[in-house]
Amino acid sequence: MSRAHRPRNRSGEGAATAPRPVDRYRELTAAGPGAWVARRLGLPRPVALRRTEPGQPLLAGPALVLGAGAAPLAGGLADVLRAGGAQVHPELSGVAAGAALGAVVLDASAVATVEDLEQVRAALAPAFRRLGPCGRLLLVGAPVPPGTAPGASGGASGGASGGTGTASSAAAVERAAVQQALEGLSRSAAKEARAGATANLLRVDPADPAAAVAGAASTLLFLASARSAFVSGQVVTAAPVPAPAAPPPAGEQPLAGRVAVVTGAARGIGAAIAEVLAARGAHVVGVDVPAAGEALAAVANRTGGSALQMDVTAPSAPARLLEHLLARHGGADVVVHNAGITRDRLLVNLDAQRWASVLAVNLAAPLRLTDALLAADGALRPGARVVAVSSMSGIAGNRGQTNYAASKAGLIGAVRALAPALAQRSGTVNAVAPGFIETEMTARTPLLTREAGRRLSSLHQGGLPVDVAEAVAWLAEPASAGVTGQVVRVDGQNLIGA
């Protein structure tokens, strides 16, 4: 496929690879008698989520950017939203009566005492009430590194004794406790949010406000926008980065000129990732098994990318990938380990073959490919982005999936361990952990399992492959340089994986 062959659908929307499984319950309860019955019985009424569309404004309504305490980041965060086209208000009184808010952002990064938390409540409660359908609540806090409070380990302040510590250690412990409290607050708000609204916590060290805002900007814009439709109840830490000299020109595609490898790109989530990355300007090298060659070629055709037929577990896979990347593209900027399989059995019935195949595809192959890319000169360009597609099962475990959950938890371990190696070349490595996503795979699950997967989440529905793809695209952006070594669930705050 030539690079000149551009994607037919640059927005990535409507380019679905397979007929989308229908959520009949959502359709039934959307209006008419079904809606009436659901209301009377107190049943969930999932709404159509606001997802990315061409020409869409950043937010569905005005934004309110508030602060608790000194709030050193509120002004900078408001500027980021304004630059994204949002109408921003610093006070609720400035918002037209009756207008539903598109987003509420609260800078609580300087909050340090239990009393300060009352300011957070007092600011949030009336604003949250005004949040419109598919609105966004975003709390901004400070990181809480473990064991950093002076005296916390009994020695740093030299004054900790008798279990009470010094005044300064007590203050540091209280600050850490209060910042951690924001996590409970935001995750609970996510469970209270209605009509497709979400709530998330963004942590960034406010010591240098300009660098903090620069580090947080891409995550703020992702979590505020329709791109994060299925991301709720999450905590993301963004490291401060030197403020960019000049903002990128308006309308520039963030991945323009970049080469992205996506494994398992022939269908489902992988095909959606290829489409969204291509829509953001990347040349996508789709990888999949030869048996999926036709579907893979169709994806490459749609996205203007190229296809590499290859089993990622084959002994020759690392060498073939390197050869393809170095000979044709001079290296890669983005690598997405998406190929994955399930071979479910209860542990008591789990044979060595089912164990080995899942571990080989889902864990050993990403480890080997990443290792080869890191070792070969020029294969990963400076500022590279590696994203692994893990799973909610890898965080919470799942009955019948000891092999799958082990492989997906292993990916999370790999991401954390690889972060320093990527940082040495100004790169990042992260995992996304999808929950229940409407794909051919989940369409085949028994009705009750499928309904539980859909309804037992704060958004009361399954996500779409594009939701996972949008999260991958956010992490792949050059502007997401401050986000590394993290796991972000794309699961509508699934209660099963809580």
Catalytic residue list: 404
Q: Given the complex with ligand NAD, which of 119 and 442 has the nearer CB atom?
A: 442
CA 454 to chain centre: 19
Q: Given the complex with ligand NAD, which of 323 and 440 has the nearer CB atom?
A: 440
Kindly compute the dihedral angle of the four CA atoms of residues 283, 284, 285, 288, in this order, to the nearest 10 degrees.
-170
Let me know: does 139 contact 201? Beta carbons within 8 Å.
Answer: yes
Q: Given the complex with ligand NAD, which of 240 and 264 has the nearer CB atom?
A: 264
Q: To the nearest whole angstrom, how small is the minimum distance from the Cβ of residue 393 to ligand NAD?
A: 7
Q: To the nearest whole angstrom, how small is the minimum distance from the Cβ of residue 20 to ligand NAD?
A: 12
Q: Given the complex with ligand NAD, which of 233 and 434 has the nearer CB atom?
A: 434
Kindly compute the dihedral angle of the four CA atoms of residues 93, 99, 101, 102, in this order, to the nearest 10 degrees.
-140
Q: To the nearest whole angstrom, how small is the minimum distance from the Cβ of residue 11 to ligand NAD?
A: 21
Q: To the nearest whole angstrom, how small is the minimum distance from the Cβ of residue 38 to ligand NAD?
A: 25
Q: Given the complex with ligand NAD, which of 119 and 403 has the nearer CB atom?
A: 403
Q: Which of 216, 214, 221 is nearest to 204 (CA)?
A: 216
- Compute how many other C-beta atoms are within 10 angstroms of the C-beta atom of residue 51: 18
Q: Which helix (H) or strand (E) holds 323?
A: helix 317-329
Task: Give the 3-state secondary structure of residue 65.
Answer: strand
Let me know: does 225 contact 52? Beta carbons within 8 Å.
Answer: yes
Contacts 24+ apart (CB under 8 A), 292-300: 292/266, 292/267, 293/266, 295/17, 295/266, 295/267, 295/271, 296/265, 296/266, 298/17, 299/17, 299/265, 299/266, 299/267, 299/271, 299/274, 299/275, 300/1, 300/274
Residue type, 59: L
Let me know: does 491 contact 453? Beta carbons within 8 Å.
Answer: no
Q: To the nearest whole angstrom, how small is the minimum distance from the Cβ of residue 450 to ligand NAD?
A: 10
Q: To the nearest whole angstrom, how small is the minimum distance from the Cβ of residue 370 to ligand NAD?
A: 15
β-bridge pairing 306-309 and 283-288? parallel
Q: To the nearest whole angstrom, how small is the minimum distance from the Cβ of residue 394 to ligand NAD?
A: 8
Q: Which residues lie closer than 8 Å to 107 by C-beta, 6 or more apart? A: 65, 66, 67, 68, 71, 72, 73, 74, 77, 140
Q: Given the complex with ligand NAD, which of 227 and 267 has the nearer CB atom?
A: 267
- Compute how many other C-beta atoms are within 10 angstroms of the C-beta atom of residue 46: 22
Q: To the nearest whole angstrom, how small is the minimum distance from the Cβ of residue 122 to ligand NAD?
A: 39
Q: Given the complex with ligand NAD, which of 128 and 230 has the nearer CB atom?
A: 230
Give alpha helix (H) positions in 352-446: 352-359, 365-375, 392-396, 402-423, 440-443
Let me know: does 237 contact 475? Beta carbons within 8 Å.
Answer: no
Q: Which residues contact ligand NAD (rule: CB under 6 A)? A: 263-264, 266-270, 287-289, 292, 311-313, 338-341, 361, 389, 391, 434, 436-437, 439-442
Residue type, 194: R
Q: Given the complex with ligand NAD, which of 179 and 402 has the nearer CB atom?
A: 402
